[in-house]
């Protein structure tokens, strides 16, 4: 509606400018634009300096190298060659994929099932919703310090529980080993899921509440059991939100940083077995002793940016085709 009115305003303004051919007629329009840009300029400057320019600059920096004594010079692909030859680069990618897959298996299914169950309950829903969302509000470092305490092999709660059940104890995050489902990474995923599942759960819950009840009614009359009703009513009806959250979650988990950073004191675990790509960017840029190298870090940033862009683009394309 707003559009319609403004376009009417534009149409009435246009003839005077075009038909009148008076130079002065341009002035009100210019003034109107200047005023509108006055409201816009603060945000545009912030976007320019802190979002648009850094995107361009990351690409530029990835092809540069510092010159002794100050300044930069072009370096061709050498930063990329260097990071591709770094064994840690491949390990960080492998770990990040491991985290993403595990976080999907645990962190994607759990909130949906929880939302399904919560939606069926007729009591205590407010209480349970608050509970699920509470960890999202904690400062992540607080939650992770607490999990590090639970995971502690000497005085941690989790090993104590295992001992109580006469099960072999574990080193949790500090467990060595780099198998694809390593104990260390599973520990990171558990902490991460606990911290983050609240928002996904509430979004699913809202989506479930929008499913028309008649669909369930009809399915039940046709003799569909609970599982078939989930399969044929719930999932198709929430498909869009499921796919969207799936994509957002993959993009978010590929950028995992604080979980492993706090649980392993910034180290990346035993033999780097929980080191993520963003942690490696941090290490390249800020934590390598002596030569901090913004350029290698930028190259790695560009690679991550491309991977995420290709993933989201491909995902959107693949899901659009079927729908």
Footprint of another protein on residues 146-185 (CB under 8 A)?
146-150, 154-157, 160, 163
CB atoms within 10 A of CB 198: 20
Which residue from 58, 52, 140 is spatially nearest to 304, judged by alpha carbons?
Answer: 58
User: What's the CA gap between 161 and 156, in Å, rounded?
Assistant: 9
Q: Which of 39, 68 has the CB closer to another protein?
A: 39
Which residue from 138, 122, 145, 121 is spatially nearest to 198, judged by alpha carbons?
Answer: 138
Question: 235 and 229 in contact (C-beta within 8 Å)?
Answer: no
For residue 206 the two structure tokens come to: 């809202």
* Residues 185-204 as x/- pattern, contact with another protein by CB under 8 A: ---------x----x--xx-
Q: How far is the CB of 226 from another protein (least distance, A)?
A: 7
Place of tokens 């990835």: 62
* Residues 223-242 as x/- pattern, contact with another protein by CB under 8 A: ---x--xx--xx------x-
By CB under 8 A, name the one of 26, 109, 206, 288 that touches another protein: 206
Q: How far is the CB of 262 from another protein (least distance, A)?
A: 5
By CB under 8 A, name the one of 47, 84, 90, 180 that touches another protein: 47
For residue 263 the two structure tokens come to: 């649980």
Residue list 64-103, contact with another protein (CB under 8 A): none
Q: How far is the CB of 299 from another protein (least distance, A)?
A: 10
Which residue from 280, 230, 236 is spatially nearest to 254, judged by alpha carbons?
Answer: 280
DSSP, residue by residue, 293-311: -HHHHHHHHHHHHHHHHHH
Q: Which of 28, 212 has the CB closer to another protein?
A: 212
Q: How far is the CB of 102 from another protein (least distance, A)?
A: 18
User: What's the CA gap between 302 and 288, in Å, rounded?
Assistant: 19
By CB under 8 A, name the one of 14, 17, 36, 288 that touches another protein: 36
Q: How far is the CB of 193 from another protein (least distance, A)?
A: 11
Residue 232 CB partners (closer than 8 Å, separation 6+): 219, 224
Residue list 245-304, contact with another protein (CB under 8 A): 245, 248-249, 251-252, 255, 257-258, 261-262, 265-266, 278, 281-282, 285-286, 294, 297-298, 301, 304
Q: Which of 8, 180 has the CB closer to another protein?
A: 8
């Amino acid at each position: 509606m707003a559009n319609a009115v403004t376009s009417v305003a534009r149409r009435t303004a246009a003839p005077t400018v075009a038909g009148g051919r008076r130079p002065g007629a341009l002035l009100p329009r210019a003034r109107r634009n200047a005023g509108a840009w006055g409201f816009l300029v603060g945000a545009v400057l912030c976007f320019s300096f802190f979002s648009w320019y850094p995107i361009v600059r990351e690409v530029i920096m990835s092809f540069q190298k510092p010159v002794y004594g100050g300044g930069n010079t072009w370096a061709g692909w050498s930063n990329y060659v260097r990071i591709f030859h770094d064994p840690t680069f491949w390990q960080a990618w492998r770990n990040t994929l491991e985290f993403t897959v595990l976080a999907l298996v645990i962190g994607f299914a759990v909130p949906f099932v929880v939302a399904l169950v919560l939606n069926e309950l007729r009591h205590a829903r407010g209480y349970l919703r608050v509970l699920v969302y509470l960890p999202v509000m904690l400062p992540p470092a607080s939650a992770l310090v607490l999990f590090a305490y639970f995971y502690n092999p000497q005085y941690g709660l989790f090993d104590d529980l295992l001992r109580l059940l006469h099960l072999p104890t574990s080193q949790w995050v500090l467990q060595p080993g780099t198998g694809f489902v390593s104990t260390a990474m599973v520990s990171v995923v558990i902490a991460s899921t606990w911290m983050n599942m609240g928002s996904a759960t509430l979004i699913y819950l809202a989506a479930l509440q929008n499913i028309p009840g008649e669909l369930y009614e009809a399915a039940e009359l046709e003799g569909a059991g609970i599982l078939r009703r989930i399969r044929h009513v719930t999932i198709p009806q929430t498909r869009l939100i499921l796919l969207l959250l799936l994509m957002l979650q993959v993009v978010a988990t590929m950028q995992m940083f604080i979980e492993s950073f706090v649980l392993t004191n910034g180290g990346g675990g035993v033999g780097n077995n929980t080191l993520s790509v963003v942690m490696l960017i941090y290490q390249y840029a800020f934590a390598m002793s002596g030569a901090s190298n913004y350029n290698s870090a930028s190259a790695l940033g560009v690679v991550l940016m491309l991977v995420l862009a290709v993933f989201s683009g491909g995902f959107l394309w693949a899901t659009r085709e079927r729908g």
